[in-house]
């Protein structure tokens, strides 16, 4: 493994305790291998995506490999695996606070959006599930937030079943859709003559005033969440008089563009402005090296889903939230 120092690795080791189904328990760690200690008690030190430094004993390692920073070049967006999509989406929409629990990531952002205020349990928490859930409940209770876990399906169907058996209720379901940038550049178009689309690295006051979380306007305090990405980008479709008619947010993560927060003012819907915003984001991302696009759309939003179908997006997978109802505020 010496040749892997400084590179991203995936390591599976024995946890020393039975797994959730009674068989051998394993611990999976993904991160950058920072150093190898070859003393009398050898150990590998791996820095995870959340910044935690994890110690792995080589004698307990079952499998280890170098993995690319991003998925290898794909022939089409739909070839990407579920875990990689969710890891990219998590980087595109980051919380204000996050903490590792083994390979689980606990995220909090004062309650703004489910993604930024839920656990993303990709991997093993490093302890029995019931103990991990107790830590989750304690962590979110300390922040006056409900205990919420995001479950990509069918990847985490087993954990979804375990949570159901423990009384965690399904909150809502979201579809993750993907598309190739080349396809989106063909199916989208420029803004109508009566409007122009501006691109910026930060949202202005008019952009924020146009964004709704559900039906609720968002406060200025969410700006750190909106801009917390490696390369965020904000699109605004404006009228000739300067009024903001439609908006969208993107985040460029390696070869991927993750699109969120697409909104069109009610009087201007079905006029092509939403498609223009998507096209502007795609053109910008293409110039910056993006090849694929992902977005999320709630199952109870058929109009948006229909639009994305027409533009060439395909359903990749769903994710659901499981809510511990006793933790609701």
Q: Residue 28, exposed/middle/buried by CB under 10 A (0-12, 13-18, 19+)?
A: middle
Looking at residue 2, its pLDDT comes to: 60
**Residues in the chain, total:** 329
On whether both 182 and 275 belong to a single domain, the answer is: yes
Instruction: Give the residue numbers spanning the domain of 41.
Output: 2-66
Same structural domain, 312 and 186: yes
Residue 183 banded pLDDT, cuts 50, 70, 90: very high
71-126: pLDDT as tens digits: 667 888 999 999 999 999 999 999 999 999 988 999 999 898 999 999 999 988 99
pLDDT digits (tens, 9 = 90+) for 194-245: 789 999 999 999 999 898 776 666 777 788 888 988 899 999 999 989 999 9
Domains held by the chain: number: 3
What value does the mean pLDDT take over residues 301-321?
A: 94
Asked whether residue 41 falls in the same domain as residue 133, the answer is: no
Q: Is the pLDDT of residue 153 over 90?
A: yes
For residue 322, give both structure tokens.
């499981």
295 and 189, same structural domain? Answer: yes
88 part of a folded domain: no
**What are the backbone dihedrals phi and psi of residue 22, each rounded to the nearest 5 degrees, phi first?**
100, -15
**Position 128 in a domain:** yes
For residues 31 and 8, is the Cβ–Cβ distance under 8 A? yes
Once rounded to an integer, what is the mean pLDDT over residues 50-74?
79
Can you give the pLDDT at residue 154?
92
Q: Indicate whether 116 and 224 sit together in one domain.
A: no
Selected residue with higher pLDDT from 145 and 34: 145
**Scanning the structure block, which residue is given the tokens 């875990």?**
83
How does pLDDT run across 171-182, given as a tens digit for each residue?
889 999 999 999
The first and second tokens of residue 183, run together, are: 């396809």
Please name the residue that has the structure tokens 């980008």.
Answer: 233
For residue 63, the model assigns a pLDDT of 85
Task: Tell me the C-alpha to C-alpha distance, in Å, between residue 188 and each of 55, 191, 192, 280, 307.
Answer: 48, 9, 12, 9, 11
**pLDDT for position 66:** 76
Whether the bond into 288 is cis, omega within 30 of 0: no
CA dihedral 155, 158, 162, 163 (to 10 degrees): 10
In the sheet where 169-180 sits, what is the strand order?
A: 97-101, 104-108, 119-120, 147-153, 314-324, 169-180, 292-298, 256-264, 244-253, 232-239, 195-200
pLDDT in tens, 32-55: 787 888 788 889 988 876 677 889
pLDDT in the model for residue 191: 72
Rounded to 5 degrees, φ, ψ at 81 are -85, 160
Task: Note the pLDDT of residue 132.
Answer: 96
Per the prediction, the chain carries an average pLDDT of 88
**CA–CA distance, 96 with 94 (Å, rounded to integer):** 7
Greater pLDDT, 14 or 168: 168
The alpha carbon of 87 is separated from its chain's Cα centroid by a whole number of angstroms, namely 6
User: Same domain for 288 and 220?
Assistant: yes
pLDDT of residue 10: 85
pLDDT of residue 215: 65
- Distance separating alpha carbons of residues 119 and 148, to the nearest angstrom: 6
Task: Supply the pTM of this predicted model.
Answer: 0.77
Read off the pLDDT of each residue in 130-158 and give the average, rounded to a whole number: 96
**Is the residue at 250 inside a domain?**
yes
**Of 38, 66, 94, which residue sits at a domain end?**
66
The average pLDDT across 144-148 equals: 96
Band (280; pLDDT cuts 50, 70, 90): very high
77 lies in some domain: no
Q: Can you list the positions of beta strands (E) in 22-159?
A: 24-37, 43-48, 53-56, 61-66, 97-101, 104-108, 119-120, 147-153
């Amino acid at each position: 493994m010496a040749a892997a120092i400084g590179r991203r690795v995936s390591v599976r080791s024995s946890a020393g305790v039975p797994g959730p189904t009674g068989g051998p328990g394993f611990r999976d760690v993904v991160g950058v291998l920072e150093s190898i200690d070859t003393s009398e008690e050898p150990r590998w030190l791996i820095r995870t995506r959340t910044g935690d430094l994890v110690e792995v004993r080589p004698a307990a390692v079952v499998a280890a490999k170098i993995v690319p920073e991003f998925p290898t070049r794909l022939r089409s967006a739909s070839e990407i695996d579920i875990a990689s999509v969710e890891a990219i989406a998590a980087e595109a929409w980051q919380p204000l606070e996050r903490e590792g629990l083994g390979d689980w990531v606990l995220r909090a952002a004062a309650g703004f959006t489910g993604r930024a205020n839920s656990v993303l349990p990709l991997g093993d928490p490093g302890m029995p599930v019931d103990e991990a859930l107790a830590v989750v409940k304690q962590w979110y209770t300390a922040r006056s937030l409900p205990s919420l876990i995001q479950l990509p399906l069918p990847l985490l169907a087993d954990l979804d079943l375990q949570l159901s058996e423990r009384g965690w209720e399904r909150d809502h379901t979201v579809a993750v859709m993907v598309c190739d940038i080349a396809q989106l550049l063909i199916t989208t178009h420029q803004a109508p003559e009566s409007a122009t689309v501006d691109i910026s690295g930060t949202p202005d006051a008019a952009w924020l005033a146009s964004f709704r979380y559900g039906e609720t306007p968002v406060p200025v305090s969410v700006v750190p969440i909106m801009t917390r990405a490696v390369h965020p980008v904000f699109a605004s479709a404006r009228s000739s008089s300067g009024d903001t008619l439609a908006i969208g947010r993107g985040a460029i993560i390696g070869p991927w563009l993750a699109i969120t927060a697409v909104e069109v003012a009610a009087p201007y819907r079905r006029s092509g402005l939403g498609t223009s915003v998507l096209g502007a984001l795609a053109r910008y991302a293409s110039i910056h090296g993006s090849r694929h696009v992902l977005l999320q759309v709630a199952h109870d939003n058929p109009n948006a889903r229909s639009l994305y179908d027409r533009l060439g997006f395909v359903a990749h997978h769903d994710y659901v939230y499981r809510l511990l109802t006793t933790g609701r505020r």
